[in-house]
């Protein structure tokens, strides 16, 4: 049975829905993903969707292609949040895990491009973990 997922951007202008099963889930530490996400790594799910549709805000979705590369990332032009990127040619969609409003049933498969990770990105499980802002 195919699961249905939905998600949205930070401001809520862009929302989407799709059916499918996640094939891959990578935490990518390459420099492009660090810059594109503004943090230690991107967290992207990949699938060949049986159905994908923008529910709202399709006109607000902008695509950025890194010059002289095949890397394309879509984002909401209002709030700047990453949103899914469809590669129609290869029938694959890259879904930033953080924009999903549905539970994600899959554990990440791997941290990738660890050779490019940020210099502060080590032993993060040892950093204090607080449920809210510190006092």
Q: Residue 18: exposed, middle, or buried by beta-carbon count in 10 A (0-12, 13-18, 19+)? A: buried
The one segment of 29-37, 67-75, 87-95, 99-107 that binds Zn ion by CB under 5 A: 29-37
Choosing from 30, 92, 100, 104, the residue that interacts with Zn ion (CB under 5 A) is 30
Within residues 71-100, the interface with Zn ion by CB under 5 A covers: 76, 78-79
Q: What share of the chain is helix, strand, coil (3-state, %, to 5)?
A: 15, 40, 45
Rounded CA separation 1/40 (Å): 34
State the nearest-atom distance from the C-beta of 49 to Zn ion, in Å.
21
61 interacts with Zn ion by CB under 5 A: no
First to last CA, the chain: 47
State the nearest-atom distance from the C-beta of 65 to Zn ion, in Å.
15
Binding site for Zn ion (CB under 5 A): 9, 11, 13, 28, 30, 33, 76, 78-79
């Amino acid at each position: 049975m195919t699961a249905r997922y939905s998600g949205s951007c930070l401001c809520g202008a862009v929302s989407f829905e799709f059916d499918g099963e996640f094939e891959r889930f990578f935490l990518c530490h390459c420099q492009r993903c660090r810059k594109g996400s503004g943090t230690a790594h991107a967290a992207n799910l990949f699938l060949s969707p049986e159905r994908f549709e923008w529910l709202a805000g399709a006109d607000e979705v902008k695509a950025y292609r890194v010059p002289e590369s095949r890397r394309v990332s879509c984002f909401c032009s209002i709030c700047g949040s990453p949103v899914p990127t469809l590669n129609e040619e290869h029938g694959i969609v890259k879904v930033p895990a953080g924009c999903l409003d549905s539970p994600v049933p899959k554990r990440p498969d791997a941290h990738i491009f660890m050779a490019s990770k940020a210099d502060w990105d080590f032993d993060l499980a040892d950093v204090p973990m607080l449920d809210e802002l510190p006092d």
